Amino acid sequence: MEIAKYERWFMMATFAFIIGAAIALIVSVVGHHASLAEEAGRIAPEEVRSTAPFDEPGLHPSTDPDHDYDLVMVAQTWSWSPEEIVVPAGANIRILATSVDVVHGLLLKDTNANVMVIPGIIAEVRDVHFDEPGTYWLFCHEYCGLQHHNMAARVIAE
C-alpha cells in the first residue's frame, strides 16, 4: 500500500519534470529566440586572415537581407579579434565566427549567442540583439589551453 503511494508520487514528479522541461524549451525558443547554431560555410584555417569577411573582423553592414549588421569574429588562442566592438543597441545582428587554430566557443552573455567556434567551419548566429545599452561580455566557453579563462571580448551597445 505504502509502496504504491510512493510510486504514484514518483510518477507525478517525473511527469511534472517533463512538463517543466517542455515549458522551459518553449520559453527559450519563443521568448528568448534560442535556436540551433548554423554552419554557414567552410574555410581553411590558414586562409581565414586573408579571406573576406574574416580579413577585417568587426562590425559591418550585413550581407544578409534579414540583418542590419554582421559581427565578424576570429578566435585564436587566447584572444578574440576584435576584443572590443561598438554596436547600435536594438539592431538585428548576425554573428559570423571561425577559428584559426583550435576549437573555441563563443558565448555572448545576456544574448542568444552560444556556439562552438571550430577551425574550418564558419559558425553563424542569427538574430542577435543588444536591447539595452551597456557592455556585453563575450567569453570562450570551450577549454582551449592555459589562458582559456582570459579569452574574452567586449561588445558595447550604445
Which residues in this chain contact ligand CUA in the complex, by CB under 6 A? Answer: 78, 104, 140, 142-144, 148, 151
Sequence-distant (6+) residues with CB within 8 A of 30 are none
Taking every pair of Cα atoms in the chain, the longest distance, rounded to a whole number of angstroms, is 73
Residue 85: CB minimum distance to ligand CUA, A? 17
For the bound state, the minimum distance from the C-beta of residue 98 to ligand CUA, rounded and expressed in Å, comes to 13
How far lies 33's CA from each of 19, 110, 135, in Å? 20, 12, 20
Taking the C-alpha atoms of residue 124 and residue 93, their distance in angstroms, rounded to an integer, is 11
Given the complex with ligand CUA, which of 17 and 143 has the nearer CB atom?
143
Residue 40 CB, nearest approach to ligand CUA (Å): 20
Cα three-residue angle 65-74-47, rounded to 5 degrees: 95
- Nine cell digits for residue 46: 590558414
Find the shortest distance in angstroms from Cβ 97 to ligand CUA.
11
Return the number of the residue (100 or 157) whose C-beta is nearest ligand CUA: 100
- C-beta closer to ligand CUA: residue 78 or 136: 78
